[in-house]
Structure 1
Amino acid sequence: MSRSTRKTPIRGITTCRSERDDKQIWHRRWRAHQRTALASTPLNDEDGTLPESVKQLSDVWCMGKDGHLYWSADRQKRMARRFARRQGRGRKERKALEARLRHKFMGK
């Protein structure tokens, strides 16, 4: 997977790499809520176990990533150039650093 690239340059807005922990907490909360709902309804009640909506048990804006952002190739180039100017010492080193950063930005 070292050569895999993104087909669409869309990334999360914050620096959080994954929402795995937040999703695990939400699913635990949702399953516990469903277990208590199933345990409290009588067996002959057909309409008693309706699934809960996502918004009743969790808020997606409180999770690690607040959404997604389209990151165009032009913007990636500008960011890479800015970082390379700040960190690179010579012209050759800045060019190599800029190319490496652009490759990193499009990597998965």
Structure 2
Amino acid sequence: MSRSTRKTPIRSITTYRSERDDKQIWHRRWRAHQRTALASTPLDDDGTLPESVKQLSDVWCMGKDGHLYWSADRQKRMARLFARRQGRGRKERNALEARLRHKHMGK
């Protein structure tokens, strides 16, 4: 997987790497709510509990707010901008730009 690339260049908006902790907290809360609801109320006709998933958590309160499409042109511009700020010589800037473009397309 070290050479895999993204098929669709969509990235998260924030610098948060993963929503794993937020999802674990949400699922614990949801399962606890379902257990208490099962113990106290009867099921509906179709065998499910009358509870909405969105009542216990809000997606906008989690670490990542959403996603953004990063086109190849935008990736190139951002890599060039960063390379101009950080690189000292032309050779170093070109190497830094190539490294950043490779990093953005990696999984």
TM-score higher than 0.5: yes
* TM-score normalised per structure 1: 0.91
C-alpha separation in 1, matches of 2:53 and 2:60: 12
Tell me the distance in 1 between the aligned counterparts of 2:46 and 2:72: 52
Distance 1:94 1:55, change over 3 A: same
RMSD: 1.8
Structure 2 unmatched runs, 5+: none
- CA offset at residue 50 of structure 1? 1.7
Equivalent position SS for 2:85: helix
**TM-score scaled by structure 2?**
0.92
* Cα gap change, 1:41 to 1:51, in 2 (>3 Å): closer
- Larger deviation, residues 22-31 vs 46-55: 46-55
Structure 1 stretches of 4+ moved >4 Å: 45-49
Distance change (3 Å), C-alpha of 1:4 and 1:95 = same
Deviations 1:40-94 (CA, angstroms, capped at 9, x unpaired): 1258x75785252221000000001111110000000000001100110100000
